[in-house]
């Protein structure tokens, strides 16, 4: 593993990231296919240190939820955080809430930096900025190490969506596209990691503030929401997100509680 005191690459100040966050270790690569793939690989090491960060300046084969790919270009933040839920007292039954907790952390970190920004959470964990997706989150459990979580976060920062595939340009944005200037990636990353630690603490302590926060940040309440999932697609009017992280939809046949799936559309 690279450590924070090795040569610091231009785009990231690894020393600052190590000293100002809860991380015990940083695995930095100039280029990497997928930080989640690398995180899953590291998790197979019985001596893997957690919490740790896998970070790359250029992710070339990013994965999204389901079969989706994650597009990114130079200037994007792409990273994965490895945590050991036992060490932070998160029983397996609560893993679904982790996605929401991570989404809350990213929203709050961005809101702190951009108080005027219109930043919200699309259940379970997409972060939107001015009605377009700015951040995607992929939480995975390594098949061989059910005690470790790999929390992958992709945030469009200084990369412009003008260079993205056409279908993304209508639905996604970056901080620089929206705000109009460039940002220090190290600063944004530290903000997110610090907030992630605090929100994972809320999660492990079953702090009721966390559910209140995801409800406040949710963009879906009162909207008609179309969900695609393995069993059957569902559409209904969103009544909120419950304390266990389930999405409550009013449908013609009553209230449906949705725990899995992808929101394809909301209006």
Return the number of the residue (165 or 222) whose C-beta is nearest ligand BTN.
165
52 binds ligand BTN (CB under 6 A): no
**Binding of residue 152 to ligand BTN (CB under 6 A):** yes
State the Cα–Cα distance between residues 126 and 135, nearest whole angstrom. 6
Q: Kindly state whether residue 78 participates in binding ligand BTN, applying the rule CB under 6 A.
A: yes
Judged by CB, which is closer to ligand BTN: 131, or 206? 131
Measured from the CB of residue 56, what is the shortest distance to ligand BTN in angstroms? 8
Residue with tokens 């605090």: 198
Stretch that binds ligand BTN, among 57-65, 97-105, 205-213, 223-231 (CB under 6 A): 57-65
Count of chain residues binding ligand BTN (CB under 6 A): 20
**Which residues in 52-65 are b (16+ Cβ under 10 Å) and which e?**
bbbbbbebeebbbb
For 36, residues 6+ apart whose C-beta sits below 8 A from its C-beta are 54, 63, 80, 138, 140, 150, 152
**Which tokens go with 26?**
């940083």
Radius of gyration of the chain (CA): 18
User: Is there binding between residue 129 and ligand BTN (CB under 6 A)?
Assistant: no
Which residue number has the CB closest to ligand BTN?
Answer: 136
Q: Is 25 in the site for ligand BTN (CB under 6 A)?
A: no
Residue number with CB closer to ligand BTN (1 or 255)? 1
Between 178 and 239, name the residue whose CB sits nearer to ligand BTN.
Answer: 178
Task: Name the residues that contact ligand BTN, by CB under 6 A.
Answer: 34-36, 59, 62-65, 68, 70, 78-80, 126, 136-138, 152-154
């Amino acid at each position: 593993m690279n450590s924070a005191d090795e040569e610091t690459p231009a785009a990231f100040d690894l020393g600052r990231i190590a000293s100002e966050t809860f991380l015990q270790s940083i695995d930095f690569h100039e280029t990497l296919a997928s930080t989640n793939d690398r995180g899953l690989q590291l998790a197979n090491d019985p001596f893997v240190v957690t919490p740790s960060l896998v970070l790359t300046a250029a992710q070339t084969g990013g994965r999204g939820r389901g079969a989706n790919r994650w597009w990114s270009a130079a200037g994007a933040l792409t990273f994965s955080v490895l945590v050991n839920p036992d060490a932070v007292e998160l029983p397996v039954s609560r893993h679904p809430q982790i996605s929401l907790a991570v989404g809350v952390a990213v929203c709050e970190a961005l809101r702190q930096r951009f108080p005027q920004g219109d930043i919200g959470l699309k259940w379970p964990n997409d972060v939107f900025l001015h009605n377009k997706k700015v951040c995607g989150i992929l939480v995975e459990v390594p098949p061989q190490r059910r005690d470790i979580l790999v929390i992958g976060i992709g945030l469009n920062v200084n990369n412009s969506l003008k260079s993205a595939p056409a279908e993304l340009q209508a639905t996604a944005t970056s901080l620089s596209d929206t705000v109009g200037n460039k940002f220090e990636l190290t600063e944004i990353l530290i903000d997110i990691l610090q907030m992630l630690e605090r929100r994972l603490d809320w999660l492990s302590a079953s702090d009721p503030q966390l559910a209140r926060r995801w409800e406040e940040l949710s963009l879906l309440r009162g909207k008609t929401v179309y969900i695609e999932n393995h069993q059957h697609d569902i559409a209904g009017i969103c009544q909120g997100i419950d304390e266990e992280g389930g999405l409550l939809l009013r449908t013609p046949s009553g209230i449906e509680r949705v725990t899995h799936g992808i929101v394809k559309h909301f209006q």
